[in-house]
Amino acid sequence: MTPEHLPPVIAIDGPTASGKGTVAAGVAAVLGFHYLDSGALYRVVGLAALRAGVRLDDGAALAGLARRIAPAFVEGKIVQDGEDITLPIRAEDASRAASQCAVFPAVRQALLERQRAFRQPPGLVADGRDMGSVVFPDALLKVYLTAGVGERAQRRHKQLIEKGIPATIDGLLRDLKERDARDSGRADAPLAVAPGALVLDTTGMSIIDAIGAVVAAFRQRS
């Protein structure tokens, strides 16, 4: 099918804890679209690597894991091999492992078609770091969501504490800066503003306002 005959895609990219997941899920709910949390796929690979004792600098082994995983997204939960791994993949060790796995082109290639398969009628909202640049370059709307690193650390801290996962602001600040550098500096599909993307800084912005801004931009373009 040609791009104009495919279901529309809203691609939302941005750094860790920029709010893109919450905003993307909210936009999908408003529009009645499907939702893809691409980061969850990398987290599943990261968790699988940690559990299997696979070195995080072994790109070939990590790509093998990426090809073998088969997570199911069921009623807001992520299930792998019959286990609900929704919370384990959100732990900080799995998050760090996911970022390290994502630097390898073979891992990204292994997950590419799995991500594109989420494009189903009536449309898709996809969030990640290369949704608009690599996975869905023909997206009808591309958004780059960002926020100040201090606010992102506060948001991430709140998320973890609410889930009963211990964390400190100082540790999160350091971790976010390291992830930003790794995601932006990788050779394959680095985190960057896609051409033509709407840049939305959510520092001090409510989730409702951010969702509204993306929905308005989509309706204007469609």
**pLDDT value, residue 1:** 47
Domain 8-221: give its CATH superfamily: P-loop containing nucleotide triphosphate hydrolases (3.40.50.300)
Domain boundaries, the chain: 8-221
| pLDDT for 129 beyond 60 | yes
Residue 145 forms beta bridges with which residues?
A: 200
- Using DSSP's 3-state secondary structure scheme, residue 79 falls into strand
Interval 16-36: pLDDT, tens: 889 999 999 999 999 999 999
Q: What is the DSSP string of 1-32?
A: --GGGSPPEEEEE-STTSSHHHHHHHHHHHHT
Q: What is the DSSP string of 100-168?
A: HHTT-HHHHHHHHHHHHTT--TT-EEEEESSIIIII-TT-SEEEEEE--HHHHHHHHHHHHHHTT----
| Residue 72 DSSP label | E
pTM: 0.85
Mean pLDDT score across all residues of the chain: 91
How confident is the model over 117-141, as a mean pLDDT? 95
